[in-house]
Amino acid sequence: MNLKRITFISFILSLVILLFKLSINFLVWLDVWFEYTNSDYVVNFPSVFYSGQIILPILQFLPLIPFLYVFYRRQTQR
């Protein structure tokens, strides 16, 4: 794979991770907003949204994987 393709793949991965982070933040905000504005209506989101505190730091390193792959391939071809 050439460097342009690697950069493009990393960019797309970064955008996907950013959208994932924004959706989790929005759902947590929505849950808090419903909880404090209307106590009769409670939104119970699955706990998977709150597990984003653990998953998101790991996901931030995903765009580096294509670059590490190219680096590994170049080192082993020598």
Q: Tell me how far apart the alpha carbons of residues 66 and 73 are, in angstroms, rounded to a whole number.
A: 11
The type of residue at 12 is: I
Q: Are 69 and 3 in contact (CB under 8 A)?
A: no
Our count of domains for the chain comes to: 1
Distance CA 56, CA 14 (A): 12
50-62 per-position pLDDT tens digit: 555 666 677 777 7
**In this predicted structure, what is the pLDDT of residue 56?**
67
Domain extent, residue 17, equals 3-77
pLDDT value at 2 more than 80: no
Q: Is 60 exposed, middle or buried (0-12, 13-18, 19+ CB in 10 A)?
A: middle
- 26's CB contacts (< 8 A; 6+ apart) are none
